[in-house]
Structure 1
Amino acid sequence: MAGNFFTVRCDDCENEQVVFGKAASVVDCAVCGSTLVTPTGGEAEIHGEVLETVEAR
């Protein structure tokens, strides 16, 4: 199972966090708690600004 890691900026507090592109569970912002990633069964839906691809596999 290959997937990418992304640096995502939270829309609410502008915290930057690394998330997995195929996340199997909801990922919340570590600072404000808003949802950054929701699983869809494949590529996850990202709810913030993707700044860069940290690691492509």
Structure 2
Amino acid sequence: MQTIQVVLELELLQEADQAAKKHHMHRSALIRDALRLHRLPRRSGLWGLKFFWMNSMA
């Protein structure tokens, strides 16, 4: 795993913090999952999307 810096607008940062708190996860994990989710539909279709969410939110 590599470390990167991401620059976000204040409003988007606050929304990311709220979502991370709601799902009991770190903000970096939330961003990683969002990027994976963005990538999945092109790689594996809707089934991959459903499978990803079923396993990542368990």
TM-score per shorter chain, which class? under 0.3
TM norm structure 1: 0.25
Which has more helix, going by share of residues? Answer: 2
User: Which protein shows a greater Rg?
Assistant: 2
Kindly indicate whether structure 1 or structure 2 has the higher relative contact order, using CA contacts under 8 Å at least 6 residues apart: 1
Which has more strand, going by share of residues? Answer: 1
